[in-house]
Amino acid sequence: MATAGIVVLVIGGLSAVGLLVYGFISSRNQSSVVQERLGRYADAVQVAPAATPAGTAKPKASPLGERFNELLRGRSFFGSLQTKLNSADIKINVGEFFALSIIASVGGILLGVLAAVLPDCMGSGPLACLAGLSNTGTLIVGIVGGIVGAIAPNFWVGMKRSGRLQLFDNQLGDTLNLLVNALRSGYSVLQAMEAVSKELPPPISVEFRRVVQEIQLGLPMETALTHLLERIPSEDLDLVITAMNIQREVGGNLAEILDVMAHTIRERVRIKGEIATLTSQGMATGYAITGMPFALVGLLAIVNRPYIAEFFKPSNQPCGWAMLTVALIMISIGGFVIKKIVDIEV
Residues 6+ apart with CB under 8 A from 174: 200
Q: Report the pLDDT value the prediction gives residue 211, as an integer from 0 to 100.
A: 92
- Cα separation values, 263 from 166, 236, 259, 323, 328, Å: 18, 12, 7, 53, 45
Q: What is the pLDDT of residue 209?
A: 92
* Structural contact between residues 300 and 292, judged by C-beta atoms closer than 8 angstroms: no
Q: Tell me, what's the pLDDT at 213?
A: 92
C-alpha separations of 232 from 164, 166, 243, 268 in Å: 9, 10, 17, 17
Q: What is the DSSP letter of 203?
A: T
On the 0-12 / 13-18 / 19+ scale of CB atoms within 10 A, 304 is exposed
Q: Please tell me the distance from the alpha carbon of residue 24 to that of residue 85, in angstroms, as a whole number.
A: 17
Contact 229, 238 (CB under 8 A): yes
Q: How many CB atoms lie within 10 A of CB 329?
A: 10
Separation in Å, CA 248 to CA 219, 241, 254, 263 = 15, 11, 9, 22
Distance of alpha carbon 339 from alpha carbon 15, whole angstroms = 39
Query: What pLDDT score does 62 carry?
Result: 62
Q: What are phi and psi of 332, to 5 degrees?
A: -65, -45
pLDDT at 8: 46
Angle, vertex CA 12, rays to CA 9 and CA 13, nearest 5: 90
pLDDT at residue 131, as a whole number: 56
What are the backbone dihedrals phi and psi of residue 209, each rounded to the nearest 5 degrees, phi first?
-65, -40
Q: Could you report the per-residue pLDDT of 42-100, keeping only the tens digit for each? A: 444 443 333 344 444 444 556 666 776 777 777 777 878 888 888 888 888 888 888 88
Distance, in Å, from the CA atom of 169 to the CA atom of 163, rounded to the nearest integer, reads 10
What pLDDT was estimated at residue 126?
Answer: 56
Sites in the chain below the pLDDT cut of 50: 1-8, 27-59
What are the residues whose beta carbons fall under 8 Å from the beta carbon of 123, sequence distance 6 or more? Answer: none
Cα dihedral 275, 202, 221, 50 sign: negative
Q: Cis check for the bond before 203: say yes or no (omega within 30 of 0).
A: yes
